[in-house]
Amino acid sequence: MNVDLHCHTNVSDGALTPAELIELADERSIDMLSITDHDTLAAYQELGQGSDRLRIVPGIEFSSQWRKSGVHIVGLNLNLNSDEILLGVAQQSKARSERGEKISEKLQRLGFDNCLEGAKGYTSGGEVGRPHFAQHLVAIGAVTNIAQAFKKYLGAGKAGDIKEQWADLDTVIGWIRAAGGVAVLAHPVKYKMTRTKLVSLLDDFTAAGGEGLEVISGLQIPSVTRDLAALCRKHHLLASCGSDFHSSGQPWASLGMVAQLPDNLTPVWSRWV
């Protein structure tokens, strides 16, 4: 099967509408897809159950924090009407709004006025995230491109890197499990942790009820896949995979262009197929 269990639409920080994303998934012969927008389920309000060929797995990507580090937890195969998951989304939405105000305040101290309003102009009415602030900084000439915006102002350790308001691992995993879903640690390599620290994160993640690891995230070299597969087996986790697609023109995160999981892993979709 062609499976992509991690992608984004313009209701968070993606470029395509939910309908456009599904159309692209059909073009690329994806069999199973999960839209995992950041801290919101709004994309599913615009979609039905998909076609006979394309199975849509309800999902979300929650922002969380672990030992002062920002991490992301994907929830898959959720009951979208669960009171617990709706409570979690509401709490995260409030936190994201407060975070946007703090980022704007930090950028104002650096001489950039009205950044929150500017960032909102790139959200299509959805949640505000750092990529939207980055787009605004490019538009006003503060930086030349998105990568530079993160390097100078929004990336790890910079003024716009604010994560203290996110719910902790136990809380986020609790929301997902209460909604009948599987909690998956997203793109572990992107946290740039030492192996020792990553193992500690996985220990705490599994202790909190986390059940899956994103073994493949986008275009990935085989040695990374082998290493993550070993960690997945060691912690007795289900294996997930996804492109982390946001927009076209990013070959490292292209929708549906995800390598097959190693044969010696149990795929997360074994829970619902």
pLDDT at position 51: 62
pLDDT at position 159: 85
Instruction: Write out the two tokens for 49.
Output: 């159950």
Residue 217 pairs with which residues in a beta bridge? Answer: 242
Q: How many residues does the chain have?
A: 273
Local structure of 250: helix, strand or coil: coil
What order do you get walking across the sheet with 55-56 strand by strand? 3-7, 32-35, 55-56
pLDDT at position 49: 56
User: What is the per-residue pLDDT across 56-82, written as a single tens digit (0 to 9) for each?
Assistant: 999 999 999 999 889 999 999 999 999
Q: Give the Cα separation of 75 and 198 in Å (integer).
A: 20
Q: What are the chain's domains?
A: 3-89+166-271 (3.20.20.140), 99-154 (1.10.150.650)
pLDDT at position 127: 73
Q: Which amino acid is at 43?
A: A
Residues of the chain with pLDDT below 70 are 48-52, 125-126, 164
Q: What is the pTM of this model?
A: 0.88
Measured from the Cβ of residue 68, the count of other Cβ atoms closer than 10 Å reads 7
Q: Give helix 195-207 / helix 169-178 axis angle, nearest 10°.
A: 50
User: What is the per-residue pLDDT across 227-239, written as a single tens digit (0 to 9) for each?
Assistant: 999 999 999 999 9
Instruction: Write out the two tokens for 2.
Output: 């062609």
Q: Which value, to the nearest 10 degrees, does the dihedral of the CA atoms of residues 97, 93, 169, 45 take? A: -150
Contact at 8 Å (CB) between 198 and 191?
Answer: yes
pLDDT at position 48: 61
pLDDT at position 100: 87
Element at 175 (helix H, strand E):
helix 169-178
Contact at 8 Å (CB) between 15 and 44?
Answer: no
